[in-house]
Amino acid sequence: MKQLRVLVFSAAFGNGHFRAAEAVIEGILSKEPHAIIIHLDFGDFLSKRFNTMAKNVYIEMIKHTPRLWGKFYYRTAKLRPESKIQRFLSQLGRSDFLKYIQEFEPDLIVCTYPTVSSILAQLRREQILNVPVITVITDYTVHSHWVHSGVDCYMVACEEVKNSLVSWGIKAQRIQVTGIPVSPKFERELDRRHIFSKLALNPELPTFLVMGGAYGCIESTKKICNILTESQVPVQSIIVCGRNKKLYHSLEELIERSSKPMVRLGFVHNVEELMAVSDLIVTKAGGLTVSEALTKRLPLIIYNPIPGQEEENANFVQRIGAGYVAGTEDELGYFLSHLLEDPKELERMRGNAAVAFQRHSTDRVVENMLQLSMNLEIEQKIG
């Protein structure tokens, strides 16, 4: 049997696109262990100066002017594929992409970042590229930048995303509702008591996990910790600061004077373990983080979501009854107190997640990809 060759494109604008790509790779290798897979960052095909500038602008807008980002997101959300901006983006790094693809000769190309998808879809439309392009949309909404008629197959989070793509003119048979792919490690049952022991926490106390996101605001995270510290109900917390060293050090005094157990962590590789022992997560609304939490049946409070895709992801969580969206500190305090005082509400939210959210998303994504590859191979032999 022919050895499967797969090219995967993501981007380092936020961590979600990369994590979705890695999940797909894990899933492919679990079914095709001898597959040859290369994972590339879209930014590597741009000039270093342009890539650095684009990343910095994005990060600064997310951190300091989220409303400005929201205005940009919604104003560009309905751009047609033939617009000047879309035409410009579909030319970025085009010749380098094509050269790399021709040298590697993949059977499939997987994109988890929209700009790559637009470039490759244009090459497909022009019949320059003869390799099928599969696009994985990593949010619970669709921005126009994801929409390209040249994409062979879309893998999407939910029916609402599929319906949006159809309204844009994408054929329904080219869209598979699979869920956003998350690492298979989030599907495994874990030894909770062992994890509690490692963290030096009490398995009998309610445990709240706080994750600020890659570009989380220090003040927002400190507000959350203060509310938990002042809670009248016993609670213990796990605070994940990621690579934000300023945030990590800023919490030192608060944790020292807290009467409630608090574990402070930097960048971690065991989020699935932290979610497994938690009763609630307070977080931003990245598509991957939401999907990982729902896979673990973990209720969410999404605090002050960034306008744009995060806001839409938060709306999805609230719509299925698996979490709350807190826009202010007062709302956050109310929801935290309410859920501490009424643990049955947490169980209800877990149940809602179980009913509305299908697990094993990566398996479905990979099965559809492999089926597409097999069908094309058969067509080529017949042809």
**Over residues 350-370, mean pLDDT:** 93
Residue type, 233: V
Q: Is the pLDDT of residue 33 over 80?
A: yes
**Over residues 155-183, mean pLDDT:** 96
**Whole-number pLDDT of residue 233:** 86
For 83-96, give one letter per residue: b (16+ CB within 10 A) or e: eeebeebbebbeee
Cβ neighbour number for residue 347 with a 10 Å cutoff: 12
Q: How confident is the model at residue 80 (pLDDT cuts 50, 70, 90)?
A: confident
**Over residues 288-294, mean pLDDT:** 96
**Whole-number pLDDT of residue 187:** 94
**Whole-number pLDDT of residue 365:** 96
Global confidence as pTM: 0.90
Backbone torsion region of residue 134, taken as left when φ is above 0, otherwise alpha when ψ lies between -120 and 50, otherwise beta: beta
**Whole-number pLDDT of residue 354:** 92
**Whole-number pLDDT of residue 380:** 63
Distance of CA 25 to the CA centre of its chain: 15
Top pLDDT among 281 and 358 is at: 281
Mean of the per-residue pLDDT values of the chain: 89
**Over residues 170-175, mean pLDDT:** 96
**Over residues 230-255, mean pLDDT:** 89
Q: Is the pLDDT of residue 128 over 60?
A: yes
Per the structure block, which two tokens stand in for 126? 């022009």
Q: Is the pLDDT of residue 113 over 70?
A: yes
245-265 confidence digits (pLDDT tens): 888 898 999 888 888 999 999
Cβ neighbour number for residue 334 with a 10 Å cutoff: 14
**Over residues 113-131, mean pLDDT:** 91
Sort strands 300-303 and 323-326 into parallel, antiparallel or unpaired.
parallel
**Over residues 346-356, mean pLDDT:** 94
Top pLDDT among 226 and 207 is at: 207
Q: How confident is the model at residue 220 (pLDDT cuts 50, 70, 90)?
A: confident
